[in-house]
Structure 1
Amino acid sequence: MAGLIHTVFLLVAALERYGQPLALLGLRLLLAWEFWQAGRGKLRGENWFADIQDAFPFPFNLLPAEWSWQLATWTELIAAALLVLGLATRLGSLALIVLTGVAWASVHAGLGYNVCDNGWKLPLIYLIMLLPLLFGGAGRLSLDHWLRTHLSSCRQC
């Protein structure tokens, strides 16, 4: 019985040591893929923002549709790359939170919860997934962590 308890404690210790970094990496990679795909679609597609420009919340409704399109496209692409690298993760997450909020307000808000109806379920999921990255950072498996560790050890030199 003592051996089983010891094994359980070892397993819990391993999960505590490696679980959070792996979970944050998985979260970053999944979000990066989703936003990268959306950005690539905009990069290759036609600008449909002119049709919904009036629905954008202030101050985004003041921008020309082409600017909004480019801003959304490059925010999705650059922030997705930052999430993959775990570099400036909080900044990238914040940018995607703002972008998702604008999308929610201008495209998804009046369509209900259902994904099949282009409702607000996915934007809600993305926002909730981005919050741990905004508040907690990218985790140990990231350039943010490496830079922080490297720069703090360089200051002691």
Structure 2
Amino acid sequence: MYPTFSNTLKTLHTPLDQAGPWLAPLGLRLFLAWEFFESGLEKWNGQNWFAEIQSAFPFPFNHLPAYLNWELSMWAELICALALLVGLGTRFSALVLIIVTVVATAAVHWPADWSTLSELAQGYAITNKGHGNFKLPLIYLVALLPLVLQGAGKLSVDALLKTVLQRSSKT
């Protein structure tokens, strides 16, 4: 008997379905950990320029001193990136990084002036030529969302802790 198309697909999908909960969240975590840690390190080694854009920060961050916003952003990026890397407190860390990203988008990456969707769409770019620059922050937000909604995946400290806690509650 010849294999059917649906059997062939099933044969291909089964290993992918089994690997997905292990590798898909890990890939997101590694990518995001690298990006946010790099950003946090730039702040660690750089000069605070938040005073120049403090008025563009959304509430309540526009009422905090620029040095405090700098410190909050830097430490959130460094600590949450490391937490994502190992998969510890993943949902909380991803949520914190979403807040950091939304604030950065509002203060730096969103187009200052736009009146049509066509003008807004020009900001969906990675460039320093004006019209905003919100493509990369949007990519980060989309990548962080599955980690908030589904967690770190099976290859994480979160999954290990869950297993240990479930075993200890049964005994």
Using structure 1 for the length normalisation, give the TM-score: 0.94
Q: State the alpha-carbon separation in 2 of the partners of residues 11 and 149 from structure 1.
A: 29
Structure 1: distance between partners of 2:85 and 2:160: 14
Equivalent position of 1:153 in the other structure? 167
Matched, 1:113 2:127: no
Separation (CA, whole Å) in 1 of partners of 2:5 and 2:67: 63
Q: Distance in 2 between matches of 1:5 and 1:155?
A: 42
Amino acid at match of 1:116: T
- State the identity as a percent: 50
Measured after TM superposition, the shift of residue 5 of structure 1 is 6.7
How far off is 1:11 after superposition? 2.9
Deviations 1:44-101 (A, max 9, x none): 0000000000100010011111110000000000000010010100000000000000
Letter in 1 for 2:69: S
Shift of 1:149: 1.1
Alignment of 1:67-82 (within 5 A): 67-82=68-83
**Pair 75,2 (structure 1): closer, same or farther in 2 beyond 3 Å:** same
Please name the residue that 1:51 is paired with. Answer: 52
2:43 aligns with: 42
Runs of 4 or more consecutive aligned structure 1 residues displaced over 4 Å after TM superposition: 3-8
Alignment of 1:55-66 (within 5 A): 55-66=56-67
Aligned length: 157
Query: Structure 1: how far apart are the matches of 2:13 and 2:75?
Result: 41
Range with greater deviation from structure 2 (3-12 or 69-78): 3-12
1:71 is paired with a residue whose SS is helix
Q: What CA RMSD, in Å, does the superposition of the two structures yield over aligned residues?
A: 1.6
Structure holding more helix per residue: 1
1:114 CA drift (Å): 1.5
Equivalent residue of 1:2, what SS? Answer: coil
Unaligned runs of 5+ in 1: none
Extract unaligned runs of 5+ from structure 2: 113-122
